[in-house]
Amino acid sequence: MRKLKNEELNRLSPKAFKQAAKSPIIIILDNVRSMNNVGSAFRTADAFLVEAIYLTGITARPPHRDIHKTALGATETVTWQYFNTTSLAVAQARQNGFSIVAVEQADKSTLLTDFAPEANQKYALVFGNEAFGVEDTIVANADTCLEIPQWGTKHSLNIAVSIGVVLWDVLTKIEKTS
């Protein structure tokens, strides 16, 4: 076994990425404080061909050096849009046919392991502020609330980790329904 070289990875060019069919998912970042987390969200969105990222409230916007440091150019490939509030971003997603999925620990949440995406459904995954999570009104009005099962003492994952875990899981399940 050997590690692959960069030229063997079949990476899309930025132009090919823009033209490629996208995953039926958008990411909504609900007032995310850390620019490194924003950059990581872009990088992960690029890796999974996510349709777009919606940035809301205090979430930093490209271009910014600290976002670029972790995004590694993904801010140039992934489509993004800014909204003053998370509610406006959710309303736009809903209007565009997306089911709203808050990723949060809630009383009626569905464990990620039990989530079964519907065929031909588009999903807007809402990830919350590092300290306060997803806004209460967004959780209350979401179509679904997903919770990542955790067994340790913290029951808290970094938002960048949560985005990667949820995207991978949901997209592999979507592929199986296609």
pLDDT at position 172 is 96
pTM over 0.75: yes
Q: What is the pLDDT of residues 116-165, one digit of tens each?
A: 999 999 999 999 999 999 999 999 999 999 999 999 999 899 999 999 99
CATH code for the domain of 68? 3.40.1280.10
5: in domain: no
2: in domain: no
Sheet of 144-147, strand order: 80-83, 50-56, 23-30, 122-127, 98-103, 144-147, 110-111
Residue 60 CA to its chain's centroid (Å)? 15
Residue 178, pLDDT > 80, answer no
131: in domain: yes
169: in domain: yes
Q: Confirm if 99 and 144 have CB atoms less than 8 A apart.
A: yes
| Residue 30 main-chain phi, psi, to 5 deg | -90, 95
Residue 67, pLDDT > 90, answer yes
In angstroms, the Cα distances linking 120 to 24, 75, 81, 129, 144 are 8, 27, 24, 29, 16
d(CA 149, CA 87): 26
* Unique residue bearing structure tokens 């999570």: 133
Alpha-helical regions (H) of 12-129: 14-19, 35-47, 65-71, 86-95
91: in domain: yes
d(CA 109, CA 144): 7
Range of the domain at 162: 21-147+156-177
10: in domain: no
Type of residue found at 60 = A
Quickly state the pLDDT bin for 177 (edges 50, 70, 90): confident
6: in domain: no
Q: What is the pLDDT of residues 75-117, one digit of tens each?
A: 999 999 999 999 999 999 999 999 999 999 999 999 999 999 9
11: in domain: no
Q: Confirm if 154 and 101 have CB atoms less than 8 A apart.
A: no
pLDDT at position 51 is 97
Question: Domain tally for the chain?
Answer: 1
